[in-house]
């Protein structure tokens, strides 16, 4: 596959083949479990979404036995008609750094998956590989949207108002005020497309609500955001994210990653404590049985697998990052997230908004 020049990238329409299907490219070797999880997850998505086709991008010898095993499962029916393979020579390490990814990336499963998007064969790429590698190769092969300096990872965390979109989650540990403003615009566009809302609330994470609080970076971004025609509501603190006081929470990648991982750890501890509490005595078990349906419905909102899949906003194409330790349901959710991002044409909408606001990359 040819090398892609990032100097003349343009956003791409969702690619469809077959009977109007939307096509995705999946990095089969991304994540802790590789083909044993990614391939069955892809087939689960195909079984529930007849409009989707998937390119499995990976090493032939490692994919073949898993595909053969899945073919014996009757529930997949004609799914294999919409499952295609593109062979890679190797896979990048799960902790691959940007320099290593650029040096050894060509021919890897991640490179091949991203190349499908760059060449217009697929509408989106999904990978559970190294964030640094996805970022480096995504910029190289797909290029950046005009007016965007750096991509940002965004995820939807559960909150009192259903969920809050949080970005950045670790793609950029050090940012400028301009970049925070760009993150805010991208998050606002993505949130509006998801919820069919024209004016999602956007807020900037800080150590307090007052204008006098925070360092010079957030203060500068705060003043810039107040001048834009988005629904910017000012500063929020960490607890406001889960209280649902904003639709989009903007921060640097260091803070965002800490918030996300801390929230996930707190949720796991809560589930464990609740499970033990419901098993303490026969009376506790009876109460759990009577309230079981309501408890399950409430806990389902906080199930990590239902929130897996963070789009990397700012690229000239849809790229979705999965958790590295994603299991089969979680990987399936990340793939479905990529379908939604491609259907909503998020990169094109962000580019249009950046152009309307006359934002230029530094």
Parse the chain into domains and list their residue ranges: 1-146+314-345, 149-304
The secondary structure element, H or E, covering residue 16 is strand 16-17
Average pLDDT of the chain, as a whole number: 86
149-304 has which CATH code? 3.40.718.10
Question: Does residue 361 register a pLDDT over 70?
Answer: no
Common-topology check for domains 1-146+314-345 and 149-304 = no
| 235 vs 223: CA distance, rounded Å | 11
1-146+314-345 has which CATH code? 3.40.50.10950
Residue 273 φ then ψ, to 5°: -65, -40
**What is residue 305's predicted lDDT score, i.e. its pLDDT?**
64
Question: Does residue 3 register a pLDDT over 60?
Answer: no
What is the percent of the chain where pLDDT is above 90?
A: 61
What is the band of 68 on the pLDDT scale with cuts at 50, 70, 90?
very high
**What is residue 298's predicted lDDT score, i.e. its pLDDT?**
64
The mean pLDDT of 73-94, rounded to a whole number, is: 90
User: Strand runs (DSSP E) across 275-361, as ranges?
Assistant: 310-313, 318-321
What is the band of 4 on the pLDDT scale with cuts at 50, 70, 90?
very low
| 202 vs 189: CA distance, rounded Å | 10
Query: For residue 51, what are the CA distances in angstroms to 101, 110, 340?
Result: 33, 24, 12
Q: Which residue has the higher pLDDT, 170 or 58?
A: 58
**What is residue 17's predicted lDDT score, i.e. its pLDDT?**
44
**What is residue 360's predicted lDDT score, i.e. its pLDDT?**
59
| 361 vs 157: CA distance, rounded Å | 28
**What is residue 21's predicted lDDT score, i.e. its pLDDT?**
84
Q: 3-class SS at 172? A: coil
The secondary structure element, H or E, covering residue 61 is helix 60-71
The mean pLDDT of 196-218, rounded to a whole number, is: 89
Q: How far is CA 58 from the centre of its chain?
A: 21
């Amino acid at each position: 596959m040819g090398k892609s020049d990032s100097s003349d990238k343009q956003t791409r329409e969702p690619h469809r083949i077959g009977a109007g299907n939307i096509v995705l490219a999946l990095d089969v070797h991304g994540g802790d479990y590789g083909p044993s999880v990614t391939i069955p997850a892809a087939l689960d998505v195909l079984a529930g979404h007849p409009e989707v086709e998937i390119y499995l991008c990976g090493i032939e010898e490692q994919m073949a036995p898993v595909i053969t095993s899945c073919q014996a499962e009757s529930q997949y029916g004609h799914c294999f008609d919409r499952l295609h393979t593109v062979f890679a020579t190797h896979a990048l390490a799960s902790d691959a750094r940007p320099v290593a990814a650029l040096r050894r990336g060509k021919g890897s499963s991640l490179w091949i998956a991203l190349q499908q998007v760059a060449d217009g064969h697929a509408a989106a790429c999904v990978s559970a590989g190294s964030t640094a590698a996805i970022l480096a190769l995504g910029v190289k092969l797909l290029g950046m949207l005009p007016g965007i300096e750096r991509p940002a990872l965004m995820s939807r965390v559960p909150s009192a108002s259903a969920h809050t979109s949080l970005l950045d989650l670790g793609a950029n540990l050090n940012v400028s005020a301009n970049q925070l403003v760009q993150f805010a615009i991208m998050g606002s566009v993505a949130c509006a497309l998801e919820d069919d809302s024209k004016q999602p609330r956007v807020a900037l994470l800080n150590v307090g609500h007052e204008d006098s609080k925070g360092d010079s970076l957030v203060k500068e971004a705060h003043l810039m955001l107040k001048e834009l025609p988005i629904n910017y509501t000012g500063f929020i603190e960490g607890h406001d994210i889960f209280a649902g006081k904003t639709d989009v929470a903007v921060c640097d990648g260091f803070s965002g990653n800490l918030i996300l991982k801390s929230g996930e750890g707190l949720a796991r501890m809560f589930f464990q404590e609740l499970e033990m509490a419901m098993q303490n005595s026969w009376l506790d078990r009876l109460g759990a049985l009577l309230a079981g349906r309501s408890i399950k419905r409430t806990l389902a909102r906080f199930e990590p697998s239902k929130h897996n899949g963070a789009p990397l906003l700012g690229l000239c194409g849809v790229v979705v990052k999965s958790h590295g330790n994603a299991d089969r349901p979680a990987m399936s959710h990340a793939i479905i997230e990529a379908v939604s991002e491609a259907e909503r044409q998020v990169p094109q909408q962000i580019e249009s908004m950046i152009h309307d606001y006359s934002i230029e990359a530094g």
